[in-house]
Structure 1
Amino acid sequence: MTRPLRVRAAALAAVPVIAFPPAASAAAPAAAEPPAPVQAAVDYCGDQCADILPPGQNGNATLVDILAHQVFGTMPRHAGDQMVPYDRLLHSYTGLTDAQLDDFFNDASFGVPAGQVESRVRPRADVEIVRDRATGVPHITGTTREGTMFGAGYAAAGDRLFLIDVFRRLGRGELTSFAGGAPSNQALEQSLWRGAPYTEADLQAQIDRVAASGPRGAQALADVEDYVAGMNAYIDEARADRDYPGEYVLTGHMDAITQRGTIEHFTPTDVVGIASVVGLLFGGGGGGEVASGLALLAFQERYGAQEGERLYEAWRAQNDPESVLTVHEGEFPYAQSPEDPVGVALADPGSVVPHELVRDASGAAASGASAEPVPQSEGTATEPAPTATPGGAEDLVAPGEVEENLEHVRGLFNDGVLPGDLISDPDGMSNALLVAGEHTASGDPIMVAGPQTGYFSPQLLMVQELQGPGISARGASFPGLSFYVQIGRGPDYAWSPTSASQDITDTFALRLCEPDGSAPTTESRHYLDGEDCVPFEELSVDNSWTPTVADQTPAGSYRLLSLRTPYGLVESFATVDGTPVAYVTRRSTYLREVDSIIGFQQFNEPAAITSAADFQRAAFDVGYAFNWFYTDTDDIAFFNSGANPVRAQGTDPNLPIWSEPAYQWQDWNPADNGARYHPFAERPQVVNQDYISNWNNRQAAGYTSGWGMGAVHRGDLLDGRISALIAEGHAFTRASLVQTMMEAGVADLRAEQVLPELLRVIDSAPVDDPELAAAVAELRAWHEDGSLRREPELGAGEYVHAEAIHTLDAWWPLLVRAQFEPGLGTPLYEQLTRLVQINETPSGGQNGGGGSGGSPNQSQPHRGSAFQYGWWGYVDKDLRAVLGEEVQGGFGTAYCGGGELAQCRAVLLETLAQAAAEPWETTYPGDAECDSGDQLCADSIVHSTLGGITQPRIAWQNRPTYQAVHQFPARRTDPPPGG
């Protein structure tokens, strides 16, 4: 039995609260001469810039912090202080005014007022780090560029050292050896290694190539080296002060008694590895061509070659004319399927065998054994947890009790450091709303935007301000990459991205061979490169683990083995017309992760960004697939970045193709994966459209989208509201644009956009059954009241229209299957659900009415982001076809009820009756957080724990996890606001 933690109550006041050393313990200046004075940056925002990052800035906690948090509920300072304002906006956005924004966002002005300084540290003579009392954000000012970068690294380690280490290990395929063998750690590690395996030489080659590319590349390398030096200086000080993150003890890397252990210094190649993680998570796109090919074959098997191909194209809907667009006018053709594609290499049905990544598994890796996860914290974010006060830790834990105290926090990491689907389902990220000055009350443009990177404790992003020679910016960055601000603002401009996910990944088929000339099979591990039969290059990493305090997964080990060719990474083996092949995937940013550093460098350099056009040109230098949004006092702008390869004429980027030279990307260099890319003019872009909105929807006409980006998309929730307000002549303020975002963030896409068509079909005849009529009336009332999933007030305990919300949650998966499976047939229906999941609700619990026949491909519960992926557009188009309407980009046939209105209505009513009768306990199954049947709790957001500090649940909201509000009343050619 685990005994309770014995802590001296009188010593609670001695719990240290921040992981960065206080000013008194700061390092002495590196040089003897007095430090140069630090000058305040000129700010043109006029107190009209704000941001928020829940749960808080501080992501480091000492062992004592963690123990006190677990026993007494104390929270390290700034570890959770942004949760309450973030959550309360949901309940307070109606009637919001500009004056009230400060209640829900932090001041994002440059600098710290004299009376608001919490700490001031000079880790060396040429840089000062000031943290403000309100948030603990580091404001880093250097008298030299080298000092500024050093300070950025020092501050990043002070806020996220353990998390940076986790991402370093993940980028090298070493997460389980570092953090434990929990199943989620294994899944995440394998996903990353499958998509971005690198050798040390690969990482260094990227650095060398970019550093030699010109002055900007050389400066970038110098910046990274100084940044890494700052992180390492912090590590040395934290070890000397015994002030390092407690997770190093919990994962067995440090000994709490002897202080022996290792926290390894960082290197520039570690930064490249971290960049590969971020790029794969948020800046990739495409792939899946083998699955698309199997869908094409399934359509042809069902309907015949010609009709099957036509229906495949209708369902693929790569350029749906009804889809919401970010750029309202103009066409930007990219990645479109040609009429008669060449080089197509479709797998024979049933022949595809995925490449086996995991080898030589033993112990827990072979058995799947793991410790039971410990539930995360209870309650909701109503008030901040008590904050411990600074002081020494020596009296908190009695001598000899460290080991039993550590027992108290076994399982702290919730069965893994990071969720296993972080990479497998990364694309539902971020939104942006921008309004041109002619539609604002002040005449100055407004932007409300931010990345929807998921809810974690600590958060995956951190906020900072960087001021130094050639750099002036404030905003969010990924820890380990925060030598530049990646999302934020300069003196008189601001920018923010969303994940674009355009197709920058292709699949090629390599013919297999045997070196002795014998007949190959799908078990062969050589391939034809021209006339030569060559072996696959093997990239492997060995991982082993033993139980630790944080992760009690029994000891185990395995080897990760990726097979690489110059043509790409092996994804699977199959036959094509009986010929054994390896399918390899090639991402245009693979081996080129570092290239994007040049674009981010310019974002932070005011001299490089003096206009919207300058920003668009800088964004063009980012190779990752992002949508970029920009504002200053005159303009709003959009630009889509990414290394979009120019493909061989006639090839289809949506299907696998042969690897012969005739079908390769133009000017492709297998040595470094360079190629010819689509030029600036061919990228979706716009300046000073009336408004710009994006929620990961299609960018522009002609720009090919992924599966499921059709007539209904969650982007409609933003676009429809903004366009309607502009049509009414509304003059936007910062507060009213935030209101628009927030209302879209609590809307149910299905209820707002698809329920009207469902009701129209049902209304084609009277509903005689009283119970069904009541269910229909409840659904109608919900839709007419705004289709929101929202409590009437904070703490009400249930949604307005809770019954209708339950009915639709239970109905949707039943409806989709009943509507489409009879016409498509089970094999084709199931193949399509592998390409596009049918549902993504806040709770993630509806998988077909608790096993009553729906698709299981539902979203992860408690994650916030919802309504990105689903069959919303398919259902909508089909119902309109049944109603006899002309549907642009429709199927050309109707599925519901065989296309007969009366039969379709019968299908809807039958499934609606099932849904209305479904017990709430079935629709909302219980979990570690919630009792079964608790609708509000099932929807709630739970912060995934990445360390020893947990967070309370908050109410569901479909909203960025770092969000900023920007409006600039002046620019550098004007006097600063307020003189």
Structure 2
Amino acid sequence: MPPRTGTSARTGKSRAAMIAAVLALGASLLATAPHAGAAEPDPVTDYCQGQCDDILPPGENGNATLVDILGNKAFGTHPAHSDDQLDRYDGLVAGHTGLTDQKLTDFFNDASFGVAKDQVESVTSPRNDVTITRDKVSGVPHIKGTTRYGTEFGAGFAAGQDRLWLMDLFRHIGRGQLTSFAGGALANQGLEQQFWPQAPYTEADLQAQVEYIRTHEGARGEQAMADAQAYVDGINSYRDKSKKGRYFPGEYVLTGKIDAITNVGEIQPFELTDLISIASVVGGQFGGGGGGEVQAALSLLSAQQKYGVAEGTKVWESFRQRNDPEAVLTVHDGTSFPYAGKPGKAVGTALPDPGSVTAEPLIHDRTGSAGTDAKAPVKAPAALKKAQGMYDDGVIPEGSLPGSGSGAQKRGMSNALLVSGQHTASGNPVAVFGPQTGYFAPQLMMLQEIQGPGISARGVSFAGVGMYIQMGRGQDYAWSATSAGQDITDTYTVELCEPDGSAPTKNSTHYLDHGDCAAMEKLERTNSWSPTVADSTAKGSYRMQVWRTGYGVVTHRATVDGKPVAYTSLRTTYRHEADSIIGFQMLNDPSYVTDAASFQKAASNIDYAFNWFYADSRTAAFYNSGMNPVRAPGVDPALPVKAEKAYEWQGYDPAANTADYTPFAEHPHSSGQDYYVSWNNKQAQGYASAGFGLSAVHRADLLDERVSKLVEEGGVTRASLTRAMADAALTDLRGEQLLPELLKVIRSQPVTDPELNAVVQQLDSWRAAGAQRKESSPGSHAYTYADAVRIMDAWWPKLIDAEFKPGLGDDLYGALTANLATDESPAASHGPSGAHSGSAFQYGWWGFADKDLRQVLGQPVKGPLARTYCGNGDLSSCRAALLSTLKQAAAVPAAEVYPADDNCKAGEEWCTDSIIHRALGGIGQKAIHWQNRPTYQQVVEFPAHR
């Protein structure tokens, strides 16, 4: 398919000049699209009847030719359908207050099946058994095949059309080869160093996973791999055609892969193992859970050193909050699902000796610019100057990718709001849900509709693993997911040894495996890079190295009771990165999913930790998926455990990395509850938190309070549920949930300082108006309560320090903040999520502060902190600490609260909060208003059923 035609506000003369400059390099970028007649598949009944909508900004088209990229850099032009969903997504900020069902398509796509004849923009037939029809409004590919192979081939071909460069990036990220592929920018170094150690594989490991699905999953496994092969074949067909026709993504030229003049160079063919590699990145980002036990152990030791073992453990447990009785729940009908809780008497725990822990080194043999940001720009041809250095900050700027945290603070995203039919205006369930996966251009996911034998769905798929729709809608049902994060990763403590019987050291590369001194397996990846037009990073190289044991990959070394040990990370889904393909295949199969119960069974075949939500015309339902290991009795999942037979997962087979897993009934699930909300919160009673932070205040409270009120009132509609979501998306969690208690403490006595009293009044006015971070008018780029927002952003970190640090002491406070950051406001200067990322308020000390303040006020607290910290429990002293820090915060100028970055000047509050779609390719996008909202979102209400 040739490049799509873009539009420009610039003169035709300027555009022609740019095209002429590129053509002077010999880049013949226009060719005829492949088009042939294809057999028509049987029609599919759409039971949503126009009541399914969706949105995925910035736009469907994620490929850009060299001409497109240079036009964007020079004139700000955009290829067709690369940004046409951005304004609708952004428009909901101002438009949600007066939203009606009839106005939904002002802010969402019509997600009906098929394309009306007068809305067809193009039809492509890469084979005679499949067509790819794109609509005029958003350019979404509607893939219809008469054979299974042809259908999946078409899906792969469409993926090539829309995400070829992105798929190439992610197969290299998964393999730990990003710098060698796209350049040595410091962020690229960081990204491959982040992901590869989580899922380090040899090529044989990747192929073994392909074969495992084919040979261990029955007929569905065989079909899945046949579908995957057809999908890969489709990608490669587009790869070949675009290369020959010179309409391939221009990033290949700018990174030195293909010569613009001679067309010499290659886009490497895709293979089935690439899908495994991409799946490891996607699963690691969004579907992991647990881990972080070494850091948890360090904070426990710090507490014990301060307070003694018994009292220190009590204090630590009160911050760990494994099963906080005040946490907001998805299943709120009282049903309990015990899992991964604290044992009555722990066995096999292996805490390190104080001061002995060292992280396992990953990088070796650095040369040149490795570990630095040294630049050595190449001399670029004049026509390419506008694109020079576009990847100098990395293909994905540091901190932008969800999943960038570690342990308990690993990014979890997405939200869901569902209301059962007895509380809706129509009597049918209503759902507003979607994955919150960050903001990129192009997006990590792509919209598509797939119709063929055994497949009938529309929605999103992650680029490169789009054989099936991963979240979307079927003929008479819709589904979505949120990251669940339950504990599917454990830390084992392997005792080190030397094969000759000599005394081991912390650096030993052998370990005791059931009494035998076994060699660790060394996995390596050597990368090198040189400057290109896109990335000016100077020449350099390094070698990444990890050690793999039968208990997982080594992450740290230490001593336990004086003996040298290695701590390893063992994840149930390791070496099973793509096994979840079976569950997704079922979700796309209209003959399999016929009701809520069959949906839950399909979701149970997904191995990653997700919360799955479902709605049809009769039922709203929920199921939590994941390969939850059955642990040995008495093992504490929150801390490192000895690598001995007695403490292993039950049924553990290290050769296959398989074990016994908890059955369907023990996973949180529900059907027909009055409503469901999820924002990466606690699923149900008894289902223990895998990390810190699932406490009395959570961002899911923003949804729960709004939806419960709607349910109480009754008559819920698609529009009213969308309004509730959009209102929560603009709300500062601290302002809504914590500020009332802070003001109660402050106003326990009159505020006599006039200036300080005025500040208190400012904050209270903001709270009373909804504590929102929202423009005063569309396009003003100034918040209505801008100064109150500034004060809160400056105050929160100061008040948390003043509230907790004096009582905990520097060491314990530092250890606990390493487990859970204190703040995650939208502002770039706070939190682990990075700048301009949208997602906010997932991680923070909201729950700790809430409990502590209520304890100071003498209010009842379920699951209290072991001690009261603010003012050492004295209300007057606590008040003084809050007022002192508030006075300091009010005096901090906006330029300090909101420092300048590459996109904003110092002091620009709205800009600092704003969402920026990080350019993964050559096409940039404008900033939009902050929203704490799913990236891809559906609004659905089915009036009918098969």
Verify same fold: TM over 0.5.
yes
Q: How far apart, in 1, do the equivalents of 2:861 and 2:372 lie?
A: 52
The 8 Å contact of residues 370 and 415 in structure 1, kept in 2 or not, is answered as no
Q: Partner amino acid for 1:943?
A: H
List per-residue Cα deviations over 1:754-798 (Å, max 9, x = no partner): 111100001110000001100100111111111111113202231
Q: CA deviation at 1:339?
A: 2.2
Q: How far apart, in 2, do the equivalents of 1:307 and 1:524 lie?
A: 36
Alignment of 1:595-614 (within 5 A): 595-614=579-598
Q: CA deviation at 1:937?
A: 1.0
Q: CA deviation at 1:413?
A: 2.6
Q: Partner amino acid for 1:901?
A: L
The 8 Å contact of residues 38 and 128 in structure 1, kept in 2 or not, is answered as no
Q: CA deviation at 1:15?
A: 9.8
Q: CA deviation at 1:414?
A: 5.0
Larger displacement relative to structure 2 (883-892 or 666-675): 883-892
The 8 Å contact of residues 15 and 64 in structure 1, kept in 2 or not, is answered as no
List per-residue Cα deviations over 1:466-523 (Å, max 9, x = no partner): 0000000000000100010001000000000000010100000011112222211112
Q: Cα gap change, 1:22/1:252 in structure 2, threshold over 3 Å: closer, same or farther?
A: closer
Q: Partner amino acid for 1:756?
A: P
Q: Helix, strand or coil: the match of 2:698?
A: coil
List per-residue Cα deviations over 1:516-536 (Å, max 9, x = no partner): 222111121211123322221
Q: CA deviation at 1:359?
A: 1.0
The 8 Å contact of residues 97 and 736 in structure 1, kept in 2 or not, is answered as yes
The 8 Å contact of residues 863 and 942 in structure 1, kept in 2 or not, is answered as yes
List per-residue Cα deviations over 1:722-769 (Å, max 9, x = no partner): 112222x23111111110000000000001001111000011100000
Q: Is it true that 1:25 corresponds to 2:29 in the alignment?
A: no
| 1:622 aligned partner | 606
Q: Partner amino acid for 2:70?
A: L
Q: How far apart, in 1, do the equivalents of 2:640 and 2:476 lie?
A: 46
| 1:259 aligned partner | 263
Q: Partner amino acid for 1:103?
A: D
Q: Helix, strand or coil: the match of 1:595?
A: coil
Q: Partner amino acid for 2:557?
A: F
Q: CA deviation at 1:920?
A: 1.1
Q: Partner amino acid for 1:261?
A: G
| 1:108 aligned partner | 111
Q: Cα gap change, 1:352/1:662 in structure 2, threshold over 3 Å: closer, same or farther?
A: same
Q: Helix, strand or coil: the match of 1:573?
A: strand
| 2:796 aligned partner | 812
| 2:200 aligned partner | 197
Q: Helix, strand or coil: the match of 1:350?
A: coil
Q: Partner amino acid for 1:962?
A: Y
| 1:337 aligned partner | 342
| 2:382 aligned partner | 404
| 1:853 aligned partner | none
Q: Partner amino acid for 1:744?
A: A
Q: How far apart, in 1, do the equivalents of 2:435 and 2:376 lie?
A: 33
Q: CA deviation at 1:368?
A: 4.2
Q: How far apart, in 1, do the equivalents of 2:387 and 2:15 lie?
A: 21
Please, which of 367, 386, 398 is the counterpart of residue 420 of structure 1? 398
Q: Cα gap change, 1:740/1:438 in structure 2, threshold over 3 Å: closer, same or farther?
A: same
| 1:925 aligned partner | 899
The 8 Å contact of residues 509 and 583 in structure 1, kept in 2 or not, is answered as yes
| 1:977 aligned partner | none
Structure 2 spans left out of the alignment, 5+ residues? 1-9, 23-27
- How many residues align structurally? 923
List per-residue Cα deviations over 1:604-653 (Å, max 9, x = no partner): 00000000000000000000000000000000000000000000111000
Structure 1 spans left out of the alignment, 5+ residues? 373-400, 847-856, 973-979
Q: How far apart, in 2, do the equivalents of 1:24 and 1:312 lie?
A: 65
Q: Is it true that 1:796 corresponds to 2:780 in the alignment?
A: yes
Q: Is it true that 1:672 corresponds to 2:656 in the alignment?
A: yes
Q: How far apart, in 1, do the equivalents of 2:376 and 2:637 lie?
A: 44
Please, which of 243, 268, 272 is the counterpart of residue 247 of structure 2? 243
| 2:319 aligned partner | 315
Q: Is it true that 1:88 corresponds to 2:91 in the alignment?
A: yes
| 2:44 aligned partner | 41
| 1:976 aligned partner | none
Q: How far apart, in 2, do the equivalents of 1:371 and 1:926 lie?
A: 26
| 1:936 aligned partner | 910
Q: Partner amino acid for 2:706?
A: R
Q: Helix, strand or coil: the match of 2:556?
A: strand
Q: Helix, strand or coil: the match of 1:408?
A: helix
Q: How far apart, in 2, do the equivalents of 1:453 and 1:971 lie?
A: 31
RMSD after superposition: 2.0
Please, which of 671, 683, 688 is the counterpart of residue 687 of structure 1? 671
Q: How far apart, in 2, do the equivalents of 1:23 and 1:184 lie?
A: 34
Q: Is it true that 1:945 corresponds to 2:945 in the alignment?
A: no
Q: How far apart, in 2, do the equivalents of 1:895 and 1:934 lie?
A: 35
Q: Partner amino acid for 1:876?
A: D
Alignment of 1:89-488 (within 5 A): 89-213=92-216, 214-328=218-332, 329-370=334-375, 403-413=381-391, 415-421=393-399, 422=401, 423-425=403-405, 427-488=411-472
TM-score norm. by structure 1 comes to 0.92
Q: How far apart, in 1, do the equivalents of 2:98 and 2:653 lie?
A: 57
Q: Cα gap change, 1:738/1:678 in structure 2, threshold over 3 Å: closer, same or farther?
A: same
Q: Partner amino acid for 2:270?
A: F
Q: How far apart, in 2, do the equivalents of 1:15 and 1:690 lie?
A: 62
Q: CA deviation at 1:12?
A: 6.6
| 1:883 aligned partner | 857
Q: How far apart, in 1, do the equivalents of 2:62 and 2:375 lie?
A: 26
List per-residue Cα deviations over 1:566-587 (Å, max 9, x = no partner): 1100001111111100000000
Q: How far apart, in 1, do the equivalents of 2:578 and 2:101 lie?
A: 40
Q: How far apart, in 2, do the equivalents of 1:484 and 1:810 lie?
A: 46
The 8 Å contact of residues 66 and 948 in structure 1, kept in 2 or not, is answered as yes
Q: Partner amino acid for 1:410?
A: Q
Q: CA deviation at 1:407?
A: 2.3
Larger displacement relative to structure 2 (761-770 or 201-210): 201-210
Q: Cα gap change, 1:22/1:333 in structure 2, threshold over 3 Å: closer, same or farther?
A: farther
Q: Partner amino acid for 1:597?
A: I
Q: How far apart, in 2, do the equivalents of 1:282 and 1:837 lie?
A: 19
Q: CA deviation at 1:348?
A: 1.3
Q: How far apart, in 2, do the equivalents of 1:127 and 1:818 lie?
A: 64
Q: Cα gap change, 1:8/1:553 in structure 2, threshold over 3 Å: closer, same or farther?
A: farther
Q: Is it true that 1:553 corresponds to 2:537 in the alignment?
A: yes
Q: How far apart, in 2, do the equivalents of 1:760 and 1:486 lie?
A: 46
The 8 Å contact of residues 380 and 388 in structure 2, kept in 1 or not, is answered as no
Q: Helix, strand or coil: the match of 2:535?
A: coil
| 1:711 aligned partner | 696
Q: How far apart, in 1, do the equivalents of 2:541 and 2:748 lie?
A: 62
Please, which of 618, 640, 644 is the counterpart of residue 634 of structure 1? 618
Q: CA deviation at 1:858?
A: 4.7
Q: Partner amino acid for 2:244?
A: A
The 8 Å contact of residues 361 and 557 in structure 1, kept in 2 or not, is answered as yes
| 1:395 aligned partner | none
Please, which of 861, 866, 883 is the counterpart of residue 835 of structure 2? 861
Q: CA deviation at 1:28?
A: 6.3
Identity of aligned residues (%): 56
Q: How far apart, in 2, do the equivalents of 1:50 and 1:442 lie?
A: 17
Q: Helix, strand or coil: the match of 2:557?
A: strand
Larger displacement relative to structure 2 (886-895 or 443-452): 886-895
Q: How far apart, in 2, do the equivalents of 1:368 and 1:930 lie?
A: 22
| 1:833 aligned partner | 817
Q: Helix, strand or coil: the match of 2:331?
A: coil
Q: Cα gap change, 1:219/1:881 in structure 2, threshold over 3 Å: closer, same or farther?
A: same
Q: How far apart, in 1, do the equivalents of 2:827 and 2:232 lie?
A: 41
Alignment of 1:687-766 (within 5 A): 687-705=671-689, 706-727=691-712, 729-766=713-750
Q: Helix, strand or coil: the match of 1:640?
A: strand
Q: CA deviation at 1:538?
A: 0.7
Q: Cα gap change, 1:518/1:243 in structure 2, threshold over 3 Å: closer, same or farther?
A: same
The 8 Å contact of residues 186 and 372 in structure 2, kept in 1 or not, is answered as no
Q: Helix, strand or coil: the match of 2:381?
A: helix
Q: Helix, strand or coil: the match of 2:370?
A: helix
